[in-house]
Every structure is written in structure tokens, then in C-alpha cells.
Amino acid sequence: MPLWLDLIVRVVAVVAAFLVLPLVVGQAEHKVMAHMQGRLGPMYAGAFHGWAQLVADGVKFVQKEDIAPGQADRRIFRLAPIVALFPYLLVLLVIPLGPNGLVAQALDVGLFFVLAVLGVGVLAVLMSAWASANKYSLLGGLRGAAQLLGYELPLVLAAASVAMAAGTLSLPGIVEAWRPWWLLWQAPAAIVFFVAGLAEIRRPPFDMPIADSELVFGYMTEYTGLRFAFFLLAEYVGIVVIAALTTVLFLGGWHGPFADQLGWLWTLVKIFAVSFVIIWFRVAYPRLREDQLQRLCWLVLVPVALGQLVLTAAVKVVM
């Protein structure tokens, strides 16, 4: 295969995954949340159990007027949704789907790249919050900044633990080195990573920056139409990315029976299972208060992550 064709196939595959997986997760959220609350959820769009609900939503968003507040910093205001969305697209590039190089771009410093790019998310929150010229937006944005900066630390520490265990920063390398007993060994890191990841994508119970009952809609208050849809899409891609990273780092990615042929399926199944847990948490738990949020981060997650680092190092030295 010539280089350009290879490149096009990889990019198209990543963009397709970027567009399809969030919709599947979003539809699953509609339905799972509805049934957990004793409802049916969307039933009309697309005739069969409302499968086209999100497509219909997208069409609706496109038709809406693109409004920017008069006092807003127009350029920053318009740029923020793209900044929120784009890092996740880049992250999807390096997430391995299956064995034998089934990855869009295998990077030797994949984990480092992922964590660095995910850190851009806080920038989008601050940009949209400040540029909206709205008090609710600003409050939400500052809460978001405090939360994202705080939870970045346990996230990185937990990821560092598994990188130490595998002895590599490459995501396919980590999955290659993964062994089932790591589920036990890296369990605290897995929990810390998952919880901090939830906070990173600002999902309930960590949706303090959005907090629709107190801050209207936080940093997204002033957004309408397609730009608002971008923020929503970013949220669902965020679920996919956090679920995929948890899968790749801690749940053994493609490992499973017939991994050579069905590796990609195992990865997808695990991603959807973790996504289900993320949706489940949203239904079951109320929002954390700001002080509870910070206490959980600094007094629970960071110490646990540090302890896990010590444990990982000790086991590595002994072995």
C-alpha cells in the first residue's frame, strides 16, 4: 500500500470513530438513563426506539442561529468549542484498537502525548468562560479550572504507575506488557484514574462547572446552535476517550480469548462497558459540592495514587 493511501485510510478510520462512537455512547446514555429512571427515553426519531434521536438533535442544532453576546470576545468565543473538541480527536489517533499495529499512529511517547493533549481541555473551558462576558460562565469556568488542574495530578500519577509497571510510554507497548494479575496490582491506580478521568471530562457527579441548577449551564451558558453542539459532542467524545484510556491502561485493551482475531472487538466491548459505568454514575449520584470535590482530589485520590506509585516501584524492584 502506498504511503498516501495508508495515511488516508488511517485518518478516515479515526474520523469515523470520532463521529460514530460518541453518537453510540450518547444514544446509550439516553436509553440507559431513561430505563434507570423508569422511563422509555426517545422512541420516535428513526421509527425504531428512537435510534436517530441524536441525528435529529444535530439537524436541529445546525438550524439554530449562531449568537454571540454583544460584550463577548468574538474570536475567542468562536474558537473555544473547537479547542474543546480537537484534543480528543488527537487522542483517538494514538489509542490502539487491536494487536499487530492496529492503531492509527503508534507513538513511542503515546501516554505522554495523551496526557499533554488532554490538558488542553482546561484551556477551552477558560476561553469560553472568559469570552462569554457572563457571570455564570465565568463562575463555571473558574470552578472548571480549579477542578481540571486539581484532578490532572491524580490522573497523571495513576497513569505513571502503569507506565512504570509496563516499562514503556507507548500505549500498544503497555497493552502488550499487561498481564491479568495487574487488575489486582494496579486496582487502586485504575480507580483513581477512572475517577479523575470522570472529573476531567466534567461528568456527573463532578459536573460542578456546569451545575445547571446553580450556574444556568456554566461556561456553556451563552452558546447556541452548532457551537453548543460541539461542546456536547466534546463531552461524549470525552466519555469515549476516558473509557478507552481506562481500557488500554488498566483493563488490558485487546487481551481476551481469540485476541489475535477479535482483539479489536475486545477493546470496543471494554470501552462500552466502561462508558456504561460512566453513564450509570451519572444516574446514581448527586453532584459533589465544591469543597467535597477538592477534598476528594487532594485528600483521597492524590495520596492513593502516590501509594500506588510506591507499591508499583516496590514490586518492580523485587521482581
Q: Does residue 285 belong to the site contacting another protein (CB under 8 A)?
A: yes
Please report the beta strands in 183-305, taking only residues with DSSP state E, as ranges in sequence order: none
Q: Does residue 39 belong to the site contacting another protein (CB under 8 A)?
A: yes
In the complex, least distance from residue 198 CB atom to another protein, rounded to whole angstroms = 13
Cβ 130 vs Cβ 138: under 8 Å: yes
Site for another protein in 101-130 (CB under 8 A): none
Other beta carbons within 10 angstroms of residue 221's beta carbon come to 22
For another protein, give the closer residue by CB, 43 or 311. Answer: 43
In the complex, least distance from residue 1 CB atom to another protein, rounded to whole angstroms = 45
For another protein, give the closer residue by CB, 39 or 179. Answer: 39
Q: Does residue 86 belong to the site contacting another protein (CB under 8 A)?
A: no
Bridge partners of 98, per DSSP, are 102
For another protein, give the closer residue by CB, 20 or 36. Answer: 36
Among 185, 272, 280, 298, binds another protein (CB under 8 A): 280
**Angle formed by the axes of helices 135-166 and 121-131, nearest 10°:** 180
Query: What is the number of alpha carbons within 13 Å of residue 4 lying toward its C-beta?
Result: 0
CA distance 278 to 289: 19
Coil/strand/helix, residue 303: helix
**What is the DSSP code (8-state) at residue 289?**
P
In the complex, least distance from residue 302 CB atom to another protein, rounded to whole angstroms = 19
Among 2, 3, 38, 184, binds another protein (CB under 8 A): 38
Q: Does residue 284 belong to the site contacting another protein (CB under 8 A)?
A: yes
Cβ 242 vs Cβ 249: under 8 Å: no
Task: Give me the residues that bind another protein (CB under 8 A), please.
Answer: 32, 34-40, 43, 280-281, 283-285
